[in-house]
Amino acid sequence: MHENKLDKESSAQDVNDWAIYKRLLAYVAPFWAAFALSIAGFAIFSLASVGFAELMKHMVDAVNGDNTDARFWIPFALVGLFFVRGIGSFLGNYCLAYVANFVVHNLRSDLFNKFLTLSSSFFDQSASGHLVAKITFHVSQVTGAVTDAVKVLIREGIFVIALLSYLLYVNWRLSLVILSITPIIAWVVGFAGKRFRGISSRIQNSMGDVTQISTEAVSGYKEVRIFGGSEIEKSRFRKISNYTRQQTMKMEATIAVSSPLIQFITAFAMAVLVWLALSPEMIGDMSPGAFVAFISAASMLPKPLKQLSDINAKLQRGLAAAVDIFQQLDEQDERDTGVLPLDKAEGRIEFNNVGFNYIADRPVLKGINLTIEPGQTVALVGKSGSGKSTMANLIPRFYDIGSGEILLDGKPIESFKLKDLRNQIALVSQQVTLFNDTVQNNIAYGSLGGSSLEEVKAAATAANALEFIEQLPQGFNTMVGDQGVLLSGGQRQRMAIARSLLKNAPILILDEATSALDTESEKNIQQALERVMENRTTLVIAHRLSTIENADKIVVMDQGEIIEMGTHTELLAHKGKYATLYRMQFSDTELTKPPTAIDPASGEAK
């Protein structure tokens, strides 16, 4: 199965190769001066190395002849060559490292920046482990290619060319023997390269799985232990890790075969070379010095050739990773075609016949019509899965609607600049995301970063969070830990509410914002929230109906449709779905009271 896959990958690879090189080169382009300097450095290095062969010629000729000058200038030349070679080596290595590390840095940053502009549906479809692996593993593969591999490629490549040119210059006929093996070597290198590329992309994929499984086991360690998942996780991980091992071994086997093979081919050529060189006609043609120089230059060849074949694997690994990274960079961004700027919206939201589906042919919202006037509070209630969160997600355009339109202040939300639109909205959701930073920086997150401590404090007070924050070891400077693990669920939610209060946006979306709070705290928060809602358009999604009784409008959703709409009193009088839901919840909370208190009439009278 894998071999077939490999074939397919190889043919696709031939077509795309040039495109990948061109794109990688585009990353190198801004540093062309340093890159050119590096190539010049390596050229100096190689020429100086070849110079040793030439020096050898003069030395041997000096031994044979009576050239006394040689005794003086050869030692100087020797030291001089080393000096020049050293400078070349420094320039080559340093400048290349400079370029390579910038390329990696820019590539990694581009990849990270892409995460910030990708669409919500992309995240829905991708495993986070695979995305993280791209930044950690894939980028390091490219690093290997652009630092080590390119270095060897340039340094040894120039060296081989210089050696071959020198051999041609000393004796072109003999050199043809060496040149005749280059197509064979090229074929071996090319064949191995294709194999490396195929294996590499499989290793990359499995590294994504390794990251995914590890993060799941780490972040979900409680579930894993309580539900006895340890064995399953262990075997899942073993399987994928073993697969990575097998693929890596395939790669190593290819390296282990191809490198000696190339050396053997070279040795074969050398044998023919020596046989020919020692023939009487050849010897007669060359001076002893030229002969020794030729043999020393020829014997310098196998080493760079071996290095070149060895880095092939690294180069291909980098290219395979680059393919994956570029694919990610080519993913569609969120659509942001709006041009209208929006400073401060009034906050009138209209849903006109809105339809939406995440997956084709499976409508999640159908014919939604709803108007929220500026400053009004509208509550969405209904069974889980009825589409409430989806409606809330459409307003900041996390997803684009399928049909109909959503208007903000009378204009379609798509016509506004996405950033400006989102600036109008503060969101508190069920899942509070806290960053591994201080309490203060978590409340004053993102564009709120410039807020003063007084403003942050005021927001925390209004969110009923000041008390617990002041009891933390370092108050507002306490680090909250990964995802805020050092705080309770209710504390985290109050932090999120404080963050939204600080944003002071004209539209507020509360998606089960108080679900993690106990009744006591919820009451306190409720007062705070009501104060905040006063002059804002608010969309509340709430489970506990007691918290939304005062809403201007209550919308009851069922299977993606609005089935009832009105105020609390209207809906109770209507005796429909809402009245039933309300009575059910009311009786839940009043269960401890005497049976008479469960009378539905008392619920309505309340």
Which of 114, 388, 422, 583 touches ligand ADP by CB under 6 A?
388
Q: Is 193 in the site for ligand ADP (CB under 6 A)?
A: no
Q: Please state the closest distance from residue 430 (CB atom) to ligand ADP, in A.
A: 9
Select the span of 41-49, 379-387, 410-418, 426-434 touching ligand ADP (CB under 6 A). 379-387
Contact between 7 and ligand ADP per CB under 6 A: no
Q: How many residues are listed for the chain in this entry?
A: 606
Q: How many CA atoms lie within 13 A of 200 on its CB side?
A: 29
DSSP for 125-172?
HS-HHHHHHIIIIIHHHHHHIIIIIHHHHHHHHHHHHHHHHHHHHH-H
Q: In angstroms, rounded to a whole number, what is the distance separating the alpha carbons of residues 371 and 369?
A: 7
Contacts of 170 (CB under 8 A, 6+ apart): 286, 290, 293, 294, 297
385 binds ligand ADP (CB under 6 A): yes
Which one of 387, 396, 484, 490 is in contact with ligand ADP (CB under 6 A)? Answer: 387
Q: Rounded to an integer, what distance in angstroms lies between the CA atom of residue 210 and that of residue 291?
A: 57
One-letter amino acid at 550 equals N
User: Residues near 302 by Cβ (< 8 Å), separated by ≥ 6?
Assistant: 263, 266, 267, 270
| Nearer residue to ligand ADP within complex by CB, 54 or 564 | 564
Cα dihedral across residues 352, 358, 363, 365: positive or negative? negative
At closest approach, how far in Å is the CB of 484 from ligand ADP?
23
Binding mask 24-63 for ligand ADP (x = CB under 6 A): ----------------------------------------
Diameter over CA atoms, the chain: 128
Cβ-based nearer residue to ligand ADP, 123 or 172: 123
- Residue number, 331 or 470, with CB nearest to ligand ADP: 331
Tell whether residue 124 is a contact of ligand ADP (CB under 6 A): yes
Residue 426 contacts ligand ADP per CB under 6 A: no
- Interacting span for ligand ADP (CB under 6 A) from 104-112, 141-149, 272-280, 357-365: 357-365
Per DSSP, the residues of 182-217 read HHHHHHHHHHHHHHHHHHHHHHHHHHHHHHHHHHHH
Q: What is the dihedral of CA 164, 167, 172, 175, to 10 degrees?
A: -60
Residue 534: Cβ within 10 Å count: 10
Site string for ligand ADP, 209-248 (x = CB under 6 A): ----------------------------------------
CA distances from 228 to 212, 215, 221, 233, 234 (A): 19, 17, 10, 10, 11
| Piece in contact with ligand ADP (CB under 6 A), picked from 168-176, 255-263, 327-335, 358-366 | 358-366
Q: Which candidate, 441, 533, 511, places its Cα nearest to that of 478?
A: 441
Helices then strands, counting H and E runs in the chain, come out as 23, 10
Task: Tell me the closest approach of the beta carbon of residue 382 to ligand ADP, in angstroms.
Answer: 6
Least distance to ligand ADP from the beta carbon of 560, Å?
Answer: 7
Cβ atoms 497, 521 nearer than 8 A: no
Nearer Cβ to ligand ADP (386/538): 386
> Per CB under 6 A, which region of 108-116, 150-158, 381-389, 488-496 contacts ligand ADP?
381-389
Work out which of 389, 442, 493, 500 binds ligand ADP, going by CB under 6 A.
Answer: 389
| Number of chain residues interacting with ligand ADP (CB under 6 A) | 12
Segment contacting ligand ADP by CB under 6 A, of 302-310, 329-337, 385-393, 493-501: 385-393
The DSSP element (H or E) to which 229 belongs, if any, is none
Query: Applying CB under 6 A, which part among 214-222, 261-269, 388-396, 531-539 lies near ligand ADP?
Result: 388-396
Nearer residue to ligand ADP within complex by CB, 220 or 385: 385
d(CA 394, CA 351): 10
Residue 372 is given by DSSP the state E
Cβ proximity to ligand ADP, 388 vs 422, nearer residue: 388
Residues 359-378 that bind ligand ADP (CB under 6 A): 359, 364
Chain residues that interact with ligand ADP, rule: CB under 6 A: 124, 358-359, 364, 382, 384-390
